[in-house]
Structure 1
Amino acid sequence: MKAELEAIHRAGVPGVWAEVRENGEVWRGAAGDVTPDVRHRIGSVTKTFTAAAIMQLVERGKIGLDTPVHGDATVRTLLNMTSGLADYRFLAFPSLLEGSSQSLEDNQFRHFYPRELIKLGVDAPAVPPGTYSNTGYLLLGRLIEKVTGMTAERWITRHVIERAGLHNTMFPTGTRIEGPHPPMYEALFGLLDPPRDYSVYDMSWVGVSASLISTVEDLNLFFSALLDGKVVSRKSLAEMQKTRPVVAFDGSTVEYGLGLHRHGEFWGHDGSVWGAGTWSFHSADGRRQVTLAVNLQRWHDPAIDEALKAFQLKATQL
């Protein structure tokens, strides 16, 4: 798989790194100016952690999957993206609709509060159920706080991250990533040329929806524990694996459950924030695990897409 990583780098990604596990054997590799052990922003893979925390509260009888949260939206419909609540990203970053990157500059050090982002989403016109949205996961974060009396970040850390035995996974406490990490280049489909490093950024704009920092090793450990029933119960996991078609931000349709994607015979999640991308998928039987990270996002080059698909295909061959 080293050759496939090198191909992604040659296609134009500055840094790419991965960890693949098969039947107890671990392979790590990297191409470009990175190493396999660096920390990075994992984007919407955070949603699986938040969903696991919600399922733990369901198991404790603190909430129900059909508990109303906002209007007709329930815990379940927020988790599986069928609530019809719009995403707020273009309202928080309005220049993106005008073909400008100015909002990324304006918001780099801006601190957003969940309530203001939620308000943007819930006040916007409804979208068809099955449309990907961060708004619902911020609402779920507020629900965690209401039920537990502590911040959602602290609850998720204590009951999901620590329970899974992770040591390099954390919510950001400032604009910088502590420890070794690569630059994270955002291209914005050519609007930023050359791509700009956004590894320093206030991630309050996504909160418990997409702000976690982790490593490829920790993500494999997390999904191993989750799919083995060590983070949530087998019953909860079965609920998380009930999927429906959801239209993602890039227009593709994914089979989405309660904070989990299905990708063929694999389960997991992918994620993207400014300059950082993650792809983490795992066979249901635990035999094969694949986590890949890149430090370039929103390129406009089919060669990169083809190289990524080649790696994913080879890495997920059972």
Structure 2
Amino acid sequence: MTDTLDRAALQTALAAVHHAGMPGLFAEVRDKGEVWRGAAGFADVATGRPVTADMRHRVGSITKTFTAAAVLQLVDAGEIELDTPIGRYLPRLVPGERGAAITVRMLINHTSGLAEYLPHAYPSLAAFPALADTTPESLDAHRFTRFHPTELIEMGVSAPASGKPGGTPGIYSNTNYLLLCQLLESVTGTSAEKYVTRNVIERIGLRDTELPAGPHVDGPHALHYEAWFGMIDPPRDYSVYDMSWVGPAASLISTVADLNRFYGLLLAGEVVSRSSLAQMQRTVPVISFEGKTLDYGLGLHRTEVPGHGTYWGHDGSVWGGGAVSMTRADGTRQMSVAVNLQRWNKLDSAGKPQPHPIDGALQALTRLVWCG
């Protein structure tokens, strides 16, 4: 078999991201039967401990694809209907006219109009996403705070709406996915964490993936350095953190190999039915936290690469950690990358993030994977 992956070029591109300022990163790329794994930089900048490609890592909102898949499994089983109002399932959490207008589908694709709860849970982020007016003190204050999901949902539901139910573009909101977790619990009689673990993670053999019960990342892992747009200098480690502030909306711990396995099986129709996969791939425009317009389905992003096909997947970030996982529609090429620094861009006088060498280096790595 001819090796279709330029391993030397991939390692060089990975190292370029580290040299641009990323403490450490690691990746797995698959092309048909070929697999390449690489790493560059440090898991701990103080000790010089290197990152390795098999490390476990917090992957942020990639979790949402797992949660969406769990909901779609129940759609396949006839226990949930995508276009049924959420008020019929969770009348106490989303009461009245909004509960009657917002459907399950609108929660999964972020067109519910429900606001993000994060600025209310983290008071010093109250201006979020007006970044210039925020401060990072709440990150330390809430390192071990245990939030209850219904408490966070109430913050989002009671906040001014971000839009009308079903309106586009949608506005990305963790409130939507915490509601989906409560929906899973209501329908199955077990917690969302247990349901997703049993029916998605364990079912497809993801041995290094979990929704953590505590604040620690078990097993070999990198420290997670948060810069908060230069306001934390030097960046501080937040790998130990109680993830109840996002729960099964963004708390997943995984490896780049497990992420590629998950998205490969999902797009092959082995996690949800083909009809549910088709629903996941019906997209609408959604505005991200950073103000970018995403082509968003039911827990999946779509990216068109001219001349090289359509890619599906998700990205995610938490305090200090992040990842992206994308799979070509035909399943022939995959990329998962994990990084251990977040919000590295400093802000200008208007509060807008400024370009950083890391941005260009990551784009070059992605282009190499997608386009060769």
Measure, in 1, the Cα distance between the counterparts of 2:336 and 2:180. Answer: 26
Alignment of 1:302-313 (within 5 A): 302-313=356-367
Residue number in structure 2 paired with 1:100:
135
Residue number in structure 2 paired with 1:295:
340
Alignment of 1:16-55 (within 5 A): 16-33=25-42, 34-55=51-72
Measure, in 1, the Cα distance between the counterparts of 2:315 and 2:341. Answer: 14
Measure, in 1, the Cα distance between the counterparts of 2:13 and 2:241. Answer: 30
Q: What SS class does the counterpart of residue 170 from structure 1 fall into? A: coil
Indicate whether 1:76 and 2:105 are aligned. yes
Alignment of 1:244-263 (within 5 A): 244-263=284-303
Q: CA deviation at 1:99?
A: 2.6
Q: TM-score, normalised by structure 1?
A: 0.99
- 1:145-197 CA-to-partner distances (Å, cap 9, x unmatched) read 00000000000011011122110000111110110000000001011111100
One of 249, 266, 270 as aligned partner of 1:230: 270
Measure, in 2, the Cα distance between the counterparts of 1:93 and 1:296. Answer: 20
Indicate whether 1:278 and 2:354 are aligned. no
Measure, in 1, the Cα distance between the counterparts of 2:19 and 2:220. Answer: 23
Residue number in structure 2 paired with 1:121:
156
- 1:40-82 CA-to-partner distances (Å, cap 9, x unmatched) read 0010000000000000000111110012113121110000000
Q: Is this contact kept in 2: 1:227–1:286, CA < 8 A?
A: yes
Measure, in 1, the Cα distance between the counterparts of 2:313 and 2:84. Answer: 25
Residue number in structure 2 paired with 1:56:
73
Q: CA deviation at 1:203?
A: 0.3
Q: What SS class does the counterpart of residue 214 from structure 2 fall into? A: coil
One of 84, 89, 96 as aligned partner of 1:67: 84
Q: CA deviation at 1:263?
A: 1.2
Q: Percent identity?
A: 59
- 1:206-259 CA-to-partner distances (Å, cap 9, x unmatched) read 001000000000000000110011100110000000001100011111100000
Indicate whether 1:315 and 2:324 are aligned. no
Measure, in 2, the Cα distance between the counterparts of 1:155 and 1:23. Answer: 31
Structure 2 stretches of 5 or more lacking a match? 1-9, 43-50, 87-93, 128-132, 305-309, 346-354
- What value does the CA root-mean-square deviation take over the aligned residues? 0.9
- 1:281-305 CA-to-partner distances (Å, cap 9, x unmatched) read 0001110000011000001152110
Indicate whether 1:266 and 2:275 are aligned. no
Q: What SS class does the counterpart of residue 116 from structure 1 fall into? A: helix
Matched letter for residue 75 of structure 1: V
Q: Is this contact kept in 2: 1:99–1:191, CA < 8 A?
A: no
Matched letter for residue 156 of structure 2: G
Matched letter for residue 28 of structure 2: E
Q: TM-score, normalised by structure 2?
A: 0.84
Q: What SS class does the counterpart of residue 337 from structure 2 fall into? A: strand
Q: What SS class does the counterpart of residue 290 from structure 1 fall into? A: strand
Alignment of 1:127-146 (within 5 A): 127-128=162-163, 129=167, 130-146=170-186
Residue number in structure 1 paired with 2:216:
176
Matched letter for residue 329 of structure 2: A
Measure, in 1, the Cα distance between the counterparts of 2:11 and 2:275. Answer: 38
Q: What SS class does the counterpart of residue 242 from structure 1 fall into? A: coil
Matched letter for residue 58 of structure 2: R
Matched letter for residue 15 of structure 2: E
Measure, in 1, the Cα distance between the counterparts of 2:232 and 2:102. Answer: 37
User: What number of residue pairs does the alignment pair up?
Assistant: 318
Rg larger in structure: 2
Measure, in 2, the Cα distance between the counterparts of 1:173 and 1:210. Answer: 13
Indicate whether 1:112 and 2:152 are aligned. no
Residue number in structure 1 paired with 2:202:
162
Q: What SS class does the counterpart of residue 215 from structure 2 fall into? A: coil
Measure, in 2, the Cα distance between the counterparts of 1:275 and 1:40. Answer: 11
